[in-house]
């Protein structure tokens, strides 16, 4: 959208002040739980205009994407649309950011395909259970669990998912049939059947044409110069038309492909594989099925949960990777969405970017998007049957291509090569099973973290007095390694040397550390030398006082410690007892 359009009205409300924190029962607290109350009283006609533009823009983007993502999920096309509107309405009331849009995404659709066996009943139940888990995580403040999933793990997962989704669409781009969904089997079968494309040249040509059109339109959008007020009205109008066409490029290209397919249908010859019949009308409102009747009998709720297995952990966690702060909104969207046959949804980066570029002012833009999706379900489903699968495959490929970050490998090689390990482990194992990839990558990241905790770097300064400074905190796994390092450098020297342990970076210790320090002080005492402490933080002093550790001598500065250990007059150490602690430290200890 031209930049001048954004400047027409008053400043847009920011996400930060739309949900202020406050005490319970106060108006601000009510706004925190129902953020719509923060911006609705100030809503203006100018905001309405901008929200209408943004809502229509996102709607024209999400409708073709929803149809395409249903194909990724292995579900009938209408389930993509069923999943595309509930998030708009929920976020209208609970949204704390004007830009975020909730709905089906490529990666979430891929996970649904993995864990629901292309059965709509499983997909809807997975949405309900995922929403319940996300709500529980939000209320119980379990966001710290997501903090253990590092950026390399996320990048490895998204890159593998991008390749899996993109490669999975080759069969539709080429018009191939009976291709399995498991990645390695897909690769084998596609290469085995690629010769059949000579009989399916229509799908291959149309798919490539659609991809080229989408790429050209995206490049045009990225290179359209901003509109200036001094430009003639005709130029500004042309810029607006170009912006509209490039923003709604998915809808334009899919409509073009459907028109081409319909033209062939009229002649009685159809060279394309079409999407096929899409169920008409709005979805019925009903609770998810907690059992499924099949030809082999009835599958109970317990059996369905067992069948979905790790998906009940992977799907809600991946849905919240963007931010645990929106867990309640995402969770409620999935719970309510399951009542209208939605499969699990999450925030869409691509459509959020469209929303922001369109100048959206409030979450009311999502209301327009939701209404547009409902109208398409009611009036356009008969036309969707003419959409070639190759056109939807082109939409999917162009949507997921930006998710593959090829530069991350070079970046990690330059910044910290060890981070390549969890990245590569996650990336490779996700082609086998997603849960194994994420679990293994997270485990490797945690092991790297634990190694840095158990073996902190020790900075050593040689001089008249040996000074050792742990470069990070001191926790119980690191005590033995620290003790060995100090003993080797100080007590195994000939003759034994006094040493200073510089504790500036140590902000907390536990009982195991206290025992280790006590043994260390005793070792020095038995060799007739002194271990002095410098820079003890208040929490560390509090623990040492509580443990009644004897024989620990500490100084305020390194210079004082070195002067004392060189036996220069005028400097005395503090002992670890409340009587000897400086007054300013006592005040902090009692605070």
Pairwise CA distance, residues 151 & 332, whole Å:
27
Task: State residue 171's pLDDT score.
Answer: 83
Q: What is the pLDDT of residue 115?
A: 94
User: Is residue 118 predicted with pLDDT exceeding 80?
Assistant: yes
Q: Is the pLDDT of residue 590 over 70?
A: no
pLDDT bin (cut points 50, 70, 90) of residue 142 is: confident
Highest mean pLDDT among 91-95, 227-231, 236-240: 91-95
- Ranking 134-143, 514-523, 541-550, 566-575 by mean pLDDT, the lowest is 566-575
Among 73-77, 94-98, 495-499, the range with the most confident prediction by mean pLDDT is 73-77
- Taking alpha carbons only, the member of 102, 70, 98 closest to residue 86 is 102
Question: What is the rounded CA–CA span in Å between residue 77 and residue 21?
Answer: 41
Going by C-beta distance under 8 Å and a sequence separation of 6 or more, which residues neighbour residue 409?
420, 423
**Which residues, 6+ apart, have CB-to-CB distance to 312 below 8 Å?**
126, 129, 130, 133, 305
Please list the alpha-helical segments (H only) found in 19-98: 27-33, 36-39, 45-73, 78-94
Q: How many CB atoms neighbour CB 559 within 10 A?
A: 11
C-alpha–C-alpha distance, residues 471 and 66, integer Å: 51
| Domain range annotation of the chain | 44-226+233-405, 408-454, 458-588
Low-confidence winner among 20-24, 376-380, 536-540 (lowest mean pLDDT): 20-24
Q: Give the mean model confidence (pLDDT) for residues 119-146.
A: 92
User: How sure is the predictor about 89, in pLDDT bands with cuts at 50, 70 and 90?
Assistant: very high
What is the model's pLDDT at position 289? 93
pLDDT tens digits, one per residue of 521-554: 999 999 999 999 998 888 888 888 888 877 788 8
At residue 124, the pLDDT reads 97
pLDDT at residue number 305: 95
pLDDT tier for residue 239 given thresholds of 50, 70 and 90: confident
CATH topology of domain 458-588: Transcription Regulator spoIIAA (3.30.750)
The per-residue pLDDT for range 389-402, each reduced to its tens digit, is: 999 999 999 999 98
- The region of weakest confidence among 43-52, 325-334, 348-357, 527-536 is 325-334
Does residue 375 have a pLDDT over 90? yes
Percent of the chain with pLDDT over 90: 51
Q: Taking residues 164-170, report their average pLDDT.
A: 90
pLDDT of residue 465: 85
């Amino acid at each position: 959208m031209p930049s001048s359009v954004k400047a027409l009205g008053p400043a847009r409300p920011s996400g930060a002040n739309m949900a202020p924190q406050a005490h319970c029962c106060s108006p601000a607290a009510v706004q925190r739980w129902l953020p719509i109350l923060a911006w609705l009283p100030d809503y203006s006609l100018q905001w309405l205009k901008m929200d209408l533009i943004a809502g229509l823009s996102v709607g024209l983007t999400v409708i073709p994407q929803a149809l395409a993502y249903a194909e990724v999920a292995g579900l009938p096309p209408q389930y993509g649309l069923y999943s595309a509107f509930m998030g708009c309405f929920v976020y209208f009331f609970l949204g704390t950011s004007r830009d975020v849009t909730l709905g089906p995404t490529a990666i979430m659709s891929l996970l649904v395909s993995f864990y629901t066996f292309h059965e709509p009943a499983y997909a809807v139940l997975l949405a309900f259970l995922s929403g319940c888990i996300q709500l529980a995580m939000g209320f119980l403040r379990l966001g710290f669990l997501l903090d253990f999933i590092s950026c390399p793990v996320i990048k490895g997962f998204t890159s593998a998912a991008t390749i899996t989704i993109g490669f999975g669409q080759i069969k539709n781009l080429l018009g191939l049939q009976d291709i399995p969904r498991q990645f390695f089997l897909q690769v084998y079968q596609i290469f085995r059947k690629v010769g059949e494309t000579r009989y399916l040249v229509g799908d291959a040509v149309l798919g490539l044409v659609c991809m080229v059109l989408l790429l050209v339109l995206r490049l045009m959008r990225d290179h359209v110069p901003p509109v200036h007020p001094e430009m003639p009205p005709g130029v500004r109008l042309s810029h607006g038309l170009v912006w509209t066409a490039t923003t709604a490029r998915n809808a334009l290209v899919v409509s073009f492909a459907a028109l081409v397919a319909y033209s062939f249908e009229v002649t009685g010859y159809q060279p394309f594989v079409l999407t096929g019949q899409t169920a008409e009308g709005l979805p019925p409102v009903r609770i998810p099925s907690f059992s499924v009747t099949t030809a082999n009998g009835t599958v109970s709720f317990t059996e369905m949960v067992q069948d979905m297995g790790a998906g009940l952990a992977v799907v809600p966690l991946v849905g919240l990777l963007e931010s645990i702060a929106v867990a309640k909104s995402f969770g409620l969207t999935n719970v309510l969405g399951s009542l209208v046959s939605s499969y699990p949804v999450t925030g869409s980066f691509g459509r959020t970017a469209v929303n922001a570029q369109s100048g959206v002012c409030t979450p009311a833009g999502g209301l327009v998007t939701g209404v547009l999706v409902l109208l398409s379900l009611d009036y356009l489903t008969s036309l969707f049957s003419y959409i070639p699968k190759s056109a939807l495959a082109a939409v999917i490929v162009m949507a997921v291509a930006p998710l593959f970050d090829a530069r991350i490998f070079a970046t990690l090689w330059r910044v910290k090569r060890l981070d390549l390990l969890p990245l590569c482990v996650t990336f490779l194992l996700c082609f086998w099973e997603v849960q194994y990839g994420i679990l293994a990558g997270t485990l490797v990241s945690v092991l790297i973290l634990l190694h840095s905790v158990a073996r902190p770097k020790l900075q050593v300064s040689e001089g008249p007095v040996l000074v050792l400074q742990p470069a990070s905190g001191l926790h119980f796994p690191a005590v033995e390694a620290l003790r060995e390092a100090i003993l080797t450098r100080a007590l195994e020297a000939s003759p034994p040397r006094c040493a200073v342990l510089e504790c500036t970076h140590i902000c907390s210790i536990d009982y195991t550390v206290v025992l280790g320090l006590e043994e260390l002080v005793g070792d020095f005492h038995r060799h007739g030398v002194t271990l002095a402490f410098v820079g003890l933080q208040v929490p560390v002093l509090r623990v040492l006082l509580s443990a009644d550790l004897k024989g620990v001598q500490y100084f305020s500065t390194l210079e004082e410690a070195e002067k004392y250990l060189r036996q220069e007059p005028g400097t005395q150490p503090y002992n670890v007892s409340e009587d000897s602690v400086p007054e300013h430290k006592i005040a902090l200890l009692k605070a």
